[in-house]
Structure 1
Amino acid sequence: MRRLLLLLLVLFSTSFYAQKKKKDTLPIPKWKINGKFSFVFNQSSFSNWSSGGENTVAGNLTVDYNFNYKKDNVNWDTRMITGYGISHFSEKGHRKTIDRFELNSLFGYKTSNYWFFSFLGNLKSQYSKGYNYTNEPKLVVSDFFSPAYLTFGPGMLWKRSDRLNINIAPSTARYTFVNDDFSGEFGVDEDSNTAFSLGFNLSGLYKFTLMDNIEMENILTMYSDYLNDVGNVDVDYQTNISFKVNKSIKMQMTFQTVIDDNASSSVQFREMFGLGLNYNFHQKVTY
């Protein structure tokens, strides 16, 4: 039921803010490359503060790299999103705030106006150990490339524009990798480092302008395994809202919901808000 409600909310939001297609008077670029990084720094300090408080220093660095290729009937979109953030509490030491590496590649061959034969590839993991701090002593719950997810498979892509697309892949393979310390977790059997699944994958992207200098991006991935726990659906839904102050300064809000019974029995939520520096380190358009 939670998964159904989440999907209905996504579909409602995308239909409510649907935009009309604009005629493009310029030739279609063959290559569009855009690489940007952002850095958010937060600091708080207290001294004899009557209501209390804890001194903290935090910094987050994220990189978003996009490669888009179009020629004749070929469409190939690749995106790398990676980030790492850490905070220091005066009494508790260092803790992670962001730890993410994700590489997406979607190849399409056009069959009609908006439809493509497609092939999807996705690699998702993290860089360092993660801890559950509710345990004493703290408990290691993840590590570098543990878990890591490799997903790939053929399908059909409906692409209205670079800002709106849905990919349907009914025969998608997924490998889950863990090291020896996590054997038996994340859906991997005991005495094994990998798990294989075959299932249905639905992924979509919708990016639009809410108002001047405010942009909203919705990313949805749904996966159902045919081989294990048929009917159970993993959901990963992320919303990014960017508020542009000027060319170099943006305010970013991120909301992410993950439902994955192999990783956690509870619904996972992540929310981030920050104001920081943005820089385009690689921007190129080739006709």
Structure 2
Amino acid sequence: MKLSSFSFHFFIFFISISSFSQETIITPVEVDLIPVTTLATATSKFRITVTTQPTIPLISISHWTNKNTIGFDLNEIAFVNWNAGGVSSISGLLKGNFTRIHTLYKSKWVNELIVRYGINKQDGLAIRKSDDEFRFNSTFGYRKDTLSNWYHSAKFNFNTQFTNGYKYPDTSSPISKPFSPAYTFLGVGADYFNKEKKFDVYISPLTLKNTLILDQTLANKGAFGVTKATYDSEGNLISKGKQSKTEFGFLITNYYKKEVLKNITMENRLSLYSDYLHNFGNIDVEWKLYFDLVVNEYVRANIGTHLIYDDDVKTIEEINGVQVVTGAKVQLKQSLGVGMVYLF
């Protein structure tokens, strides 16, 4: 009888364990067989204690790294009964930087979106644009082992603007528009990337540069290096201007970021391009240099310069009240601002 009673209880325990849902893992199982003697029957029984633990879910590891930065700079100066004279003005700049980086054992894919838009308002003048940029960069690299900082890379760059640009005070004839121009770079080469030092050099001997001028009026004028329209002696249009220009050349880019002093960070971006087919050795330059001065987690001051030289971009000057297209010159923009920054 004692053996039969033990077998019956063990059978019930086995059936109950088998009927558990597949979603429950019993790890570990502790079975305590504690003899219990009842005085009425003088029969030995066993109490069974079972300890279970819930299933531990698997943790998925993402290979993506995300970083988002949004900032707003505000500059203002106001005069009231100021005997020395002056013009009240206010300007604002909205900027954003969004990065998505995908990293595997031997490869990396870096995507970056940069947007900037600024306006300025002075007494007696309409609102004017002070900054305008939409830029997307994407680089994919593959290396032979994890010890090397050199990657076989392919790079794609695109940049344009949000709204029309003018040669102030003339606001009747835009000198640039969205996608007029728009630049694309597509090429393959070698990329040296040092994550610890935040240093990146990309060298591409095979790069296609494409200039788009989707506005036909600007294309007819030959803006930004495209072939302009042709007219007869009476001014009648013979052929429209080309809306695109393709170049094939050599590209070098550099990115470097470093904390030069406590709470002062320098960010350097340099791009050098030369076309094989047209005037090789004449280099198009784009150089950005910014300094961020950190006040606290949300407040920063910044100083920046943006230099451009492109032989295909001609300068427009006003001579005797008439706008005249002259040769290419160095373009330089300087900025100084204080504002709020939010990182997420």
Q: Same fold, TM exceeding 0.5?
A: yes
Q: Which residue type is aligned with residue 118 of structure 1?
A: S
Q: CA deviation at 1:31?
A: 2.4
Partner of 1:251: 301
Which of 176, 182, 195 is the aligned partner of 2:218?
182
Q: CA deviation at 1:139?
A: 4.6
Question: Taking structure 1 as the reference length, what is the TM-score of the superposition?
Answer: 0.84
| Deviations 1:233-269 (CA, angstroms, capped at 9, x unpaired) | 0010111110100000001111111111112311011
| Deviations 1:173-226 (CA, angstroms, capped at 9, x unpaired) | 011011202111211112211110000000010111111111001101000011
1:39-118 residue pairs with structure 2 within 5 A? 39-111=72-144, 113-118=148-153
| Dislocated runs of 4+, deviation >4 Å | 136-139
- Residue 272 (1) aligns with residue 272 (2): no
Q: CA deviation at 1:152?
A: 0.6
State the secondary structure of the residue aligned to 2:225: coil
- Residue 202 (1) aligns with residue 252 (2): yes
Q: CA deviation at 1:67?
A: 1.2
Number of aligned residue pairs: give it.
Answer: 253
Q: Which residue type is aligned with residue 306 of structure 2?
A: Q
- Residue 34 (1) aligns with residue 67 (2): yes
Partner of 1:9: none
Partner of 1:149: 183
Q: Determine the C-alpha separation between the residues in 2 that align with 1:111 and 1:166.
A: 18
Distance change in 2, residues 1:72/1:123 (3 Å):
same
Q: Determine the C-alpha separation between the residues in 1 that align with 2:75 and 2:329.
A: 29
**Where in structure 2 are there 5+ consecutive unaligned residues?**
1-60, 229-240, 315-327
**Where in structure 1 are there 5+ consecutive unaligned residues?**
1-27, 283-287
Which of 178, 194, 199 is the aligned partner of 1:164?
199
Q: Which residue type is aligned with residue 177 of structure 1?
A: L
Bigger RCO (CA 8 Å, 6+ sep): 1
State the secondary structure of the residue aligned to 1:151: strand
Counting aligned pairs with the same residue, the percent is 30
Task: Considering fraction of residues, name the structure with more strand.
Answer: 1
- The two structures, once aligned, show a CA RMSD in angstroms of 1.6
Q: Determine the C-alpha separation between the residues in 2 that align with 1:73 and 1:29.
A: 16
State the secondary structure of the residue aligned to 1:186: helix
Partner of 2:261: 211
State the secondary structure of the residue aligned to 2:223: coil
